[in-house]
């Protein structure tokens, strides 16, 4: 099973064996921390790579196979070439919804054939945090990070 498939089912963190106890405990703590709290802490570092995109609306982006939101991240069609584990900043605009998703994350997988990347959200700017936390907590969203943008 690929990392892309693991994050699509319910996996929130992948640890390789042997793993350090501290890494395991940190993963458990992140998993149990509510998204609103987890995503409010701005990381100390500012990533060099940036993902900037605009879509009509969240529903249009999903219908067109450009963006899909999960419980802990998102899949987006992009020409950004970023390897797994690369920290990025993102600024995604949804003008019809009058919303912006801006923050930082970690690329968890990249699929060159489809031009899609899976990003785990690590920080969301305050202005859009309530909106995205609310969406990520909907009961019809199962994947942590969807494996594809097409619903």
Nearest-angstrom CA–CA distance, 117 and 77: 7
DSSP for residue 16: P
Q: Is the pLDDT of residue 100 over 90?
A: yes
* pTM for the whole structure: 0.88
Give the CA distances from residue 81 to residues 52, 78, 131, 136, in Å, rounded to whole numbers and listed in that order: 13, 8, 28, 25
3-state secondary structure of 47: coil
Give me the CATH topology for the region 3-136. Thrombin, subunit H (2.40.10)
Coil, strand or helix at 67 = strand
Residues 116-151: tens digit of each pLDDT: 999 999 999 998 999 999 998 886 778 889 999 875
pLDDT value at residue 47: 93
- For the chain, give every domain's residue range: 3-136
Structure tokens at 8: 């699509």
């Amino acid at each position: 099973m690929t990392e892309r498939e693991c994050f699509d089912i319910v996996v929130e963190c992948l640890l390789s064996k042997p793993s350090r106890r501290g890494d395991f405990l940190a993963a458990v703590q992140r998993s149990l921390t509510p998204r609103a709290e987890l995503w409010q802490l701005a990381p100390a570092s500012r990533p060099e790579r940036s993902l900037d995109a605009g879509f009509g609306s969240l529903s249009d982006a999903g219908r067109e196979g450009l963006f899909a939101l999960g419980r802990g991240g998102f899949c987006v069609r992009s020409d950004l070439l970023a390897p797994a584990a690369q920290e990025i900043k993102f600024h995604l605009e949804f003008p019809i919804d009058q919303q912006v998703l801006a923050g930082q994350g970690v690329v968890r997988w990249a699929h060159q054939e489809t031009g899609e990347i899976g990003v785990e959200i690590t920080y969301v700017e305050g202005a859009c945090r309530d909106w995205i936390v609310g969406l990520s907590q909907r009961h019809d969203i199962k994947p942590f990070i969807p494996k594809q943008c097409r619903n």
